[in-house]
Amino acid sequence: MKLYLEDGTIFEGKSFGAASNAAGEVVFNTGMTGYVESLTDPSYAGQIVVLTYPLIGNYGVPDKNFFESQKMQIAGLVVAEYSEEYSHHAAKQSLAQWLKASGVPAITGVDTRALTKKLREHGVMLGALGDNPAKGGARFTDPNEENLVARVSPKKKQAYLPAPQASPARAQAGGRQAGGSGAIKIIAVDCGMKENIVRSLVRPETTLIRVPWDYDFTKDEYDALFISNGPGDPTLCTPTIAHIQSAMRAGKPILGICLGNQLLALAAGASTYKLKYGHRSQNQPAIESSSGRCYITSQNHGFAVDQKTLPAGWEEWFSNANDGSNEGIRHKTKPWRSVQFHPEASPGPTDTAWIFDEFIASLKKS
């Protein structure tokens, strides 16, 4: 099997996934663990993922309770060394078995260090994976030209009743259980939402209504709006942006994560741009502007907000310590804020899980 890059570079290795071809945007993730959560993150739709950690597959794959969506979302997988033998008390199958069942091709034996250095120098590239991707009609297709959010977003809305206990992310962060009966109704716009975001927002005091990316929630009764993560170019989500603007005119509290940060910025009148190679790992440093404190965060995004275009009344909430790119915005007087990283983790640290706590606490006061 071979990985073909649009600049003519070819990496050769051994197949350990599905016997099929794939095309997409070749990106790299520098996380040491968490491949199960990452490969099921809808934000990876349309991408061939390069895992930089040298040994992958050694702890197998658990059941779907650990997935961040119902299925594997990546287009293809590239690793340096695949471990055929796995050992973990929760493992139900090998990574290779899961890839084959999911119809996702994968290649091992690739010099992922050299590949990652190329992507860092030249930026993410289009690529094709397979024995003969061109013959299979899967050569150099740019996924960002497609509205990937429409692909991964659910078709129907779903309600989540109040949780009887604190969410896992909140419990790990030391949060206390709060009493209530789901009186706070939150509309969650699912643009490719990870399951741990749902678990983080469902509390004894909340009722969560999960809606499709283009659902018009402006006529519904709700107390607050949440905008999820998701894949692709945020400017293609024009219905979502329009609905967010309606929520802003109504003065509704808003929290966004990842793509939600970009969509809130666009709704406010700011601009977004494509990063050279994006941020994909569980070790990205984000600095809070007001306190100067640096948090280690989980991230997965290829686009960012241009903080220089934020209109009057808005300010940068977080910035990336590595490249200075925006990691969050907030309004100075209105209850609108968002972050580019993933406070729900899965995988990654739960250092910023307090953002969910603050959001819910603010809704109790309003």
Residue 216, SS3? coil
Q: Tokens 């206990």 appear where?
A: 165
Active site residue 301: no
Active-site residue, selected from the candidate residues 25, 37, 316, 344: 344
Distance in angstroms (rounded) separating the CA atoms of residues 354 and 29: 25
Q: Is 237 a catalytic residue?
A: no
2-5 and 125-130 as β-strands: parallel, antiparallel, unpaired?
A: antiparallel
215 and 149 in contact (C-beta within 8 Å)? no
Distance CA 272, CA 331 (A): 17
**CA–CA gap between residue 36 and residue 33 (Å, rounded):** 9
Please identify which of the residues 243, 258, 316, 327 carries the catalytic annotation: 258
Q: Are strands 14-15 and 22-29 parallel, antiparallel or unpaired?
A: unpaired
Q: Is residue 342 within 8 Å of residue 158, measured between CB atoms?
A: no
Q: Do the Cβ atoms of 6 and 126 come closer than 8 Å?
A: yes
122 assigned to active site: no
Catalytic position from the list 243, 301, 331, 342: 342
- Spell out the residues 6+ positions from residue 140 whose beta carbon is closer than 8 angstroms to its own: 4, 6, 23, 126, 127, 128
Q: Give the other-Cβ count within 10 Å of 8's Cβ.
A: 6
Helix axes 259-268, 238-249, angle to 10 degrees: 60
Answer yes or no: are the C-beta atoms of 190 and 211 closer than 8 Å.
Answer: yes
238 CB neighbour count, 10 Å cutoff: 12
In angstroms, the CA 366 to CA 363 distance is 5
Closest of 220, 218, 194 to residue 207, by C-alpha: 220
Catalytic residue numbers read: 258, 342, 344
